[in-house]
Amino acid sequence: EKYCRYHRDHGHDTEECRQLKNQIEDLIRKGHLRRYVDRDAPQGRREQRREEAPRQQEEQHKRLKTGRDEEVITFSEADYEGVRLPHDDPVVVTLLVELFTMKRILIDSGSSADILYKHAFDQLRIPTDQLKPVKTPLVGFAGETIHPLGSINLSVVAGTVPCQTQVEMTFLVVDTLSPYKAIVGRPGLNLL
């Protein structure tokens, strides 16, 4: 009985369509819907952007003064708080996936696929019928074979304003135990 006018298909209502919401959010972010957005409405992200505007201008001014086009990434003693040296810990990040903050994402430049673990996929509340079939199995480091439940394209936002990027990644969903929620491999790293 549910019908989505965006997809012109049954399964969910238009009001519940996450892909439509993501598309609208992306258009707002790019400034294409300015005339339809109420600038005085207290919307969390919009209010946050207004507060960040003076800081962005200040940072832009600093870059202009120094003549640099790129922001320099530096680390201080505060960044070592809680870290035992020497270490070879993996790079684990937090990304915005389908507008949800997802922690414990492993960055693995040795992986030839972007992986989303089923327990994280379930938390996104995406129906499993949205998964596209995948016939090729994955082979792990120890030679074990894992058959993905399917693949799905998801919107991923990395970074914070003003250094932020949004991409659409294709994740293979696998039902296996992992301390991570996802793995971003070479395909995702190249997109980012």
Please, what is the end-to-end C-alpha distance for the chain in angstroms?
Answer: 39
| Tokens representing residue 96 in the block | 């915005």
Task: Look at residue 40 in the predicted model and tell me its pLDDT.
Answer: 60
- 129: which 2 tokens? 């019928």
Residue 75 is assigned to a structural domain of this protein: no
Q: Which residues contact 21 (CB under 8 A, 6 or more apart)?
A: 99
Task: Determine, yes or no, domain membership for 182.
Answer: yes
108 and 176 part of one domain: yes
Specify if 17 maps to a domain: yes
The total number of structural domains in the chain stands at 2
Statement to judge: residues 184 and 95 lie in one domain: yes
Residues 107 and 187 in one domain: yes
Residue 27: its H or E element: helix 18-29
* Residues 26, 112 within the same domain: no
> Does residue 80 belong to any structural domain of this protein?
no
pLDDT tens, residue by residue, 21-57: 888 888 888 877 777 776 665 554 444 444 444 444 4
- With a CB cutoff of 8 Å and minimum separation 6, the contacts of 122 are none
52: exposed, middle or buried (Cβ count in 10 Å: 0-12, 13-18, 19+):
middle
Q: Are residues 25 and 107 in the same domain?
A: no
Contact 109, 1 (CB under 8 A): no
DSSP letter (8 states) at residue 137: P
> Other CB atoms closer than 10 Å to residue 114's CB: what's the count?
23
Q: What is the pLDDT of residues 95-143, one digit of tens each?
A: 999 989 999 999 998 899 999 999 999 999 999 999 999 999 998 777 8
The band of 61, judged by pLDDT with boundaries at 50, 70 and 90, is very low
> Is residue 145 in a domain?
yes
Helix (H) or strand (E) holding 3: strand 3-4
**14 and 105 part of one domain:** no
- CA–CA separation, 171 and 178 (whole Å): 15
Residue 83 in domain: no
187 and 94 part of one domain: yes
- CA 15 from centre of chain: 22
Is residue 58 included in any domain, yes or no?
Answer: no
For position 28, what pLDDT does the model report? 80
**Model confidence at 15: pLDDT above 80:** yes
> Between β-strands 92-97 and 150-160, what pairing exists: parallel, antiparallel or unpaired?
antiparallel
> Who wins on pLDDT, 78 or 136?
136
CATH number of the domain residue 136 falls in:
2.40.70.10
Per the structure, the complete domain to which residue 13 belongs is given by 1-37
Q: Are residues 105 and 182 in the same domain?
A: yes
In a domain, 111, yes or no: yes
